[in-house]
A and B are shown apart, each in its own frame.
Chain A
Amino acid sequence: MSAPETPETTTQHEQTTHFGFKQVESSQKVNMVKEVFQSVAAKYDIMNDLMSLGVHRLWKRYTIDCSGVRAGHKVLDLAGGTGDLTAKFSRIVGESGQVVLADINDAMLKVGRDKLRDKGIVGNVEYVQANAEALPFPDNSFDIITIAFGLRNVTDKDKALASMYRVLKPGGRLLVLEFSKPSNEMLNKAYDMYSFHLLPKIGQLVANDAASYQYLAESIRMHPEQEVLKAMMETAGFEQTTFKNLTGGIVALHRGFKF
């Protein structure tokens, strides 16, 4: 299934944007995305495991391996959801470091906070409800920023990338892990079949919510593909920007530095 021919962020009129394949008022998208994640928050982890057959954990591990994180670092896990990355970052940065788990959605943040506290991860983790487009942190605050499976839900991605650039320390790096465009046409077709036919059914069965997973499939198709996102990062000011396709390009990890 192909995505409609619409710009990936706000239109030239700055009035409308996409929500999956639909065009909606820009001001509405935040609340619509919020409703999606409020609905799926409780089953978020189990759905991730089911949808990806657990491979999302390996993609996240790869992200951490590319982050260069070490003891004492200050890390921002943006759109951190249920805290998969935060948990590992917290142990690696240790007592001298700090991890900020930020998410625009309070339901996701609450699930993440409860999960991490149950695991005994306390002390160096801070929870902040924040909009990626206007991060509530001083300039040059973080050594590393990660945003895993979050950027495609942001209304104004350029604004969000600029905001991330602002709060990143010179020498720091941004890692964007996000669904992308498979490089092989056969895989692309199989992936379309899976996303638009099977995924909503799994969503209905497990989370009793087919619509949210229909949105997930649509939002993936509307997200800028690898080269476009790389160019967007460069426009925001990031240097040495590169990307790596994972699992045939179903997911891509983009990395950029601030100097």
Chain B
Amino acid sequence: MPFAQLVTSGIELAMNQLLKLDDDSQQGLKKLSGKSLQVSIKELPWPLLFTFSEQIDVRTVITSDQDLEPTSLSVDCLIELNLETLPKLRDSSQLTQLIQQKQLNLIGDIYVAQTFSALLKDLDIDWEEQLSGYTGDVVAHQTFSSMRALFDTAKTQIEQGAIELGERLTQSDSIAVKPSEMFEFSRGVSELRGATERLSARVALIEQKKKVDTGSNN
């Protein structure tokens, strides 16, 4: 089974489905109509070729086939990067910076890369609206309300947990013996030792006195 074609097929299906869920995406796609973008990700064995029309077509470029000669294609824009840099492409304003930092190699029309990046970043999908198409408004609203409540509760719990943990960490700090406390404790122990010695001396004195009194009576 042609694995690369299975991957591109999946990417193409996912992208076009997501674009269909956002009515405004067609305007962004129109700006790219007729353009092509090749993305070479270093970790992938084959480059991905995006062709833009009323939808996005994703292909591979056959370059390393043993039986078929390499196919060369001319594209409007070619970018080379690694997987780590890929998420940063969502912010089109970072493109120039990434090129300067040599994290991204770009040949051709930067506008194509920027517009594609903006198209993905600006996707705004109303998932509740999408669900209501299948379940009706009430169920969709209740489902999303419950999910939001659940999310809020979880968020609150996490925040509260973090505060409590912080407090406990602070408290454990105050439990630790400070030098002044240690000094006070040592002084107390010395006073107690002095008092004990004095008491012991007095007891010895009383005992001695008692012995003398008992001898004179006899």
B68 close to A71 (CB less than 8 A): no
Other-chain contact of A94, B9, B53, B71 (Cβ < 8 Å): B53
Within 8 A of B (CB), among A217-259: 240, 242-247, 253, 255
Number of interface residues of B (CB under 8 A): 28
Question: Which of the residues A59, A67, A242 comes within 8 Å of B67, measured between beta carbons?
Answer: A242
Complex contact A62–B2 (CB within 8 A): yes
Nearest CB to that of B12 among chain A residues?
A: A61
| A interface size (C-beta, 8 A) | 29
Chain B nearest Cβ from A225, distance in angstroms = 15
Q: Chain A residues with Cβ under 8 A from B55's Cβ?
A: 91
* A residues near B65, Cβ cutoff 8 Å: 66, 244
Interface: B5 (CB within 8 A): yes
Considering only CB atoms, which chain B residue lies closest to A255 in the complex?
B68
Name which of B19-27, B56-64, B157-165 contacts chain A: B56-64
Q: Pick from B2, B34, B36, B61: contact of A246, CB below 8 A.
A: B2
B68→A66 contact, CB < 8 A: yes
In this assembly, does B114 line the interface, its C-beta being within 8 Å of a C-beta of chain A? no
Whether, in the assembled complex, A65 has its beta carbon less than 8 Å from a beta carbon of chain B, the answer is yes
Cβ–Cβ < 8 Å partners of B73 in chain A: 68, 70
Is there an interface contact between B60 and A57, defined as CB atoms closer than 8 Å?
no
A185 to B104, CA, bound (A): 48
* Complexed CA–CA distance, A70 and B57 (Å): 12
Residues of chain B having any CB pair with chain A under 8 Å? 1-2, 4-6, 8-9, 33-34, 36, 51, 53-55, 57, 59-62, 65, 67-69, 71-75
Q: Given A62-B5, A65-B4, A66-B71, 11 other A-B contacts at CB below 8 A?
A: A58-B1, A61-B5, A65-B62, A66-B62, A66-B65, A68-B73, A71-B36, A91-B57, A92-B51, A94-B34, A244-B65
